[in-house]
């Protein structure tokens, strides 16, 4: 089931991402504990007419955001995957955040 763009945006910006609008896209960049942008962890969505994020796009986004599986991203959006859990996942993968 596709998820809503607004739900992703709300979740991401409350869990360490900043939102940057450029042209037809909205870019999400992850920030470390000091608020510095971590260029290796990012994703984007389109302004397009659809308010949903397709399953195909979710499959790309979970990899860009360094999740192990798409269902982890879905849980992150639904707010059952906390920011602390996400940061610990990134740290376990060797990211200096």
Residue 1, pLDDT > 80, answer no
Single pTM value for the model: 0.91
Helix axes 5-14, 70-77, angle to 10 degrees: 80
Cα–Cα distance measured from residue 88 to residue 4, given in angstroms and rounded to the nearest whole number: 26
pLDDT of 71 reads: 94
Say what the pLDDT of residue 2 is.
67
List, for residues 46-90, the tens digit of each pLDDT value. Answer: 987 789 999 999 999 999 999 999 999 999 999 899 999 999 999
């Amino acid at each position: 089931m596709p998820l809503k763009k607004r739900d992703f945006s709300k979740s991401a910006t409350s869990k360490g991402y900043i939102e940057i609008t450029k042209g037809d896209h909205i870019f999400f960049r992850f920030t470390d504990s000091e608020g510095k942008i971590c260029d290796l962890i990012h994703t984007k969505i389109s302004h397009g007419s659809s308010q949903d994020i397709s399953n195909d796009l979710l499959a790309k986004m979970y990899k860009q955001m360094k999740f192990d599986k798409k269902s982890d991203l879905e849980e992150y959006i639904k707010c059952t995957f906390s920011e602390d859990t996400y940061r610990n996942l990134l740290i376990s993968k060797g990211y200096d955040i």
